Structure 1
Amino acid sequence: MPGSPRRTRLAVLYGGRSTEHAISCVSAGSVLRVVDRRRYDVVAIGIAPNGRWVLGSGDPAELEVRAGVLPEVDGTGMPVALPADPTAGGLTVLVPARSPLAPGAVDPDAVDLGDVLGDVDVVFPLLHGPFGEDGTVQGLLEMAGVPYVGSGVFASAAAMDKQHMKTLLAAAGLPVGPSVVLRGGQTLAEPDRERLGLPVFVKPARGGSSIGISRVDAWDDLETALKAARAADPKVLVEAAVDGREIECGVLDTLDGRGPEASLPAEVTVTSAAGFYDFEAKYLSDAARLDVPADISGNAAARVREIAVRAFQALDCAGLARVDMFLCPDGSIVVNEVNTMPGFTPTSMFPRMWDATGLDYPALVDRLISLAVRRGTGLR
């Protein structure tokens, strides 16, 4: 209608080049299903495994897991790009045999106006893993001057690299488990084997969704585990197993500037043969029980929530994060990981924890978008 205010234009970015491509697609489908189309003009942008950006249909059904088959961006759609130019202000269609068309700089005799996607007010980068959750896309969005949901370049990069994440958390006085970092060609030295003990967990240093992670109960199996982890990342972390209950807690920034707040904690209890919360247990089977909220004492829940906020602040996170911890038999807490863009699938813990805390999925998505628009880009 003439005179009606323009809806906020939201670009939902998903897929990507990491091994978590499919989970990113499922997360995006869930967000596309609940985002308020009366408030937001939504543009779906998929990133194929080869890095090609394409215009998506925006149909959530295309991004579901069906009969155990994971979704994927096939890269055959209309190619688009986000110029690293803050004066452009939007996504651009890449028209074959022509230069990219910048929004607001269109020759009406040369191209249909439909070739131009126009300004983007905010991006929801539902990307998991390297080349998306690790500060790379965040840097592009900062260069382009487009606000985005989630942490900035530094926090995204620091949280993605488990070695540096642990260093920063420990420097802030937060408890982390013992570990060793191995580069290409390295193996675990005998003194480190004695210090860590068995079992250990071998994992890519910069990955997620439990892809490439193995539990090692005998040193004879270490090299096989290292090979599996290095298929995802040449930098590998070997961690001592922690005897404790797996507790997760969501953290969100507040719109009124009070600082971050924590959700009710949740607990993961694994029943799979793998013996830990692996990819199949997370997304493809019922081999894990998710208790939301966790059945722990009020005192333990309060300490979990406090530590989650402290971890969020220690890494200089923004918007949201999920903090994974172990609650040990003696009551102590060990921080395992901080995820700056946790899963948003229908079974993901982050939205479930906030729903139990009183913020349902649509309201959670709306709050994150509002936080991003308010924060803007640049130094802050």
Structure 2
Amino acid sequence: MAKLRVGLLFGGCSGEHEVSLRSAQAIAEALQQSSGKYDLRPIYIHKDGRWQAGDLAEKVLAEATPPALMSAESEAASATNPSGELATTQNKVLERLRSSASIEGVDVWFPVLHGPNGEDGTIQGMLKLMQAPFVGSGVLGSAMGMDKLAMKMAFAQVGLPQVKYLPVLRHEVWSNPCVFPKLCDRIEEELGYPCFVKPANLGSSVGISKASTRAELETALDNAASYDRRLIVEAGISNPREVECAVLGNDQPKASVVGEISFQGDFYDYETKYTEGMADLTIPADLPAEVAQSIQDMAVRAFLAVDAAGLSRVDFFVESTGKVYINEINTMPGFTTTSMYPRLWAASGVSFSELVDRLVQLALEER
């Protein structure tokens, strides 16, 4: 039986570049261990947008390190194959992809890309133009899963409980001295303190700040506006538990067991997420059976509400009273062997290699 050719896309232009490398390395190892079913074709996207196949892509994947940080020996080896570069700008990618021997005849794509230009519908749109099956959500599901404001509107339409929030535009923050104070007044009146200020379109908690005073609010708004023109300000909850649920499937998705994240900081920021030992994962979470079931049901409803496909991780807050609020959905969650998404499925009886294999099959089924 002929092997299925899998094009593994990793790296990318977002601030989550390094996380993508680690996720891709784990997925590549799982594909290569799948009883000879897959022929892996790695494609590395540099931070400046250049696409690279061949020796360099394989070196970056093996070391899970961007080229500038690779060893001198590895760089010298990769330099012997400069023809592996597919394009200097992304507007040339389609033409060069179709003629590249490295990825000719790819049967299915696995875009292991996090953040802007990776899980926001942009790369998914290009893969659709190529008429190629790919793992994960399509353009709509990816875009809604990335944009926190669009996501919250979709959640509201299906009745999912959420904390109070206000949308804010950059021009309201970077405006004349009369407008900005009125914006802060409105936030204080409608949401109060503490509150959380977030860019609408970034992942891994980048640009997020907690504000407990007027001065902190002003600084948080200015910081978030430097990342995105659309912002969201959310009311804080007193000492909530943060729990997550993994979803797998297409039109009939299934939910995993529920896991809990514990940490010392004010919120689950980038450093806490990706620094070993700064957060503890409890799987399954110590929750009443009816609360866990409610979270699983809401995770599936959220998945369907944004038109996700393949995989997603859905995050929730649980108050001391047992009241549950949905926080967000992540349509391409971290996928290292220690990441929450695969660990939740491992606790639900689906091994890492089986999970990766199932995602490839779901991609073929969906497209």
Name the TM-score class by shorter chain.
0.7 to 0.9
- Deviations 1:88-122, CA, capped at 9 Å, x for gaps: xxx9895xxxxx8736xxxxxxxxxxx45311111
**Could you say which residue in structure 1 is the equivalent of 2:348?**
357
* Residue in 2 that maps onto 1:108: none
Moved beyond 6 Å, runs of 4+: none
Structure 1 residues 174-323: aligned runs within 5 Å: 174-187=160-173, 188-243=183-238, 244-253=240-249, 259-272=252-265, 275-323=266-314
Using the size of structure 2 for normalisation, the TM-score is 0.86
Distance 1:22 1:208, change over 3 A: same
Structure 1 counterpart of 2:229, one-letter code: P
Q: Note the C-alpha offset of 1:142.
A: 0.8
Task: Give the CA deviation at 1:178.
Answer: 1.4
CA distance in 1, matches of 2:106, 2:189: 54
Separation in 1, partners of 2:196, 2:126 = 34
8 Å CA contact 1:43, 1:58 repeated in 2? no
Task: Give the conservation status (yes or no) of the 8 Å contact 1:33–1:60.
Answer: no
Pick from 38, 41, 44 the counterpart of residue 42 of structure 2.
Answer: 44
For residue 99 of structure 2, the aligned residue among 83, 99, 102 is 102
Letter in 2 for 1:315: V
Partner of 2:28: 32
* Cα distance in structure 1, aligned partners of 2:248 and 2:330: 12
3-state SS in 2 of match to 1:345: coil
The answer for the alignment partner of 2:86 in structure 1 is: 80
* CA distance in 2 between partners of 1:159 and 1:70 (Å): 33
1:129-148 residue CA offsets vs partner (Å, 9 max, x unmatched): 11110111111111101100
Distance 2:8 2:222 in 1: 34
SS of the residue 1:57 aligns to: helix
Asked whether the 8 Å contact 2:32–2:40 carries over to 1, the reply is no
Aligned residues: 338
1:311 to partner: Cα distance: 0.7
State how far apart, in whole Å, the 2-side matches of 1:11 and 1:232 are.
31
For 2:259 and 2:341, how far apart are their aligned partners in 1? 9
- Checking the alignment, whether the CA contact within 8 Å between 1:30 and 1:60 is kept in structure 2 is no
Shift in CA distance, 163/36, structure 1 to aligned 2, threshold 3 Å: same
Q: Among 7, 14, 23, which residue is 2:10 paired with?
A: 14
**Among 147, 150, 153, which residue is 1:161 paired with?**
147
SS of the residue corresponding to residue 172 of structure 2 reads coil
The equivalent residue for 2:159 is 173
Q: Is the 8 A contact 1:29 1:59 kept in 2?
A: no
Q: Which runs of 5+ in 1 are unaligned?
A: 85-90, 95-99, 104-114
> After the TM superposition, which of the residue ranges 329-338 and 148-157 deviates more from structure 2?
329-338
- Paired residue type of 2:287: I
Q: How far apart in 2 are the matches of 1:101 and 1:277?
A: 41
Shift of residue 26, structure 1, vs aligned partner: 1.4
Q: Any gaps of 5 or more consecutive residues in structure 2?
A: 174-182
Structure 1-normalised TM-score? 0.83
Give how far 1:64 is off. Answer: 5.6
The match for 1:152 among 110, 133, 138 is: 138
Range with greater deviation from structure 2 (259-268 or 276-285): 276-285
1:15·1:25 contact (CA, 8 Å) conserved in 2? yes
Alpha carbons 2:94, 2:130 under 8 Å: kept: no
Shift in alpha-carbon separation, 1:345–1:296, aligned structure 2, 3 A? same
Identity among equivalent pairs (%): 42
- Offset at residue 185 of structure 1 (A): 3.2
Q: Deviations over 1:195-245 (max 9, x none)?
A: 111111111111111111111121201232223323332322111112321
Deviations for 1:289-341, whole angstroms, at most 9, x for unmatched residues? 11111111111111110110111111111111111011122222111001111
Alignment correspondent of 1:106: none
Per the alignment, residue 334 of structure 1 pairs with 325
For 2:85, the aligned partner's letter is: P
Change (3 A) 1:93 1:172: closer
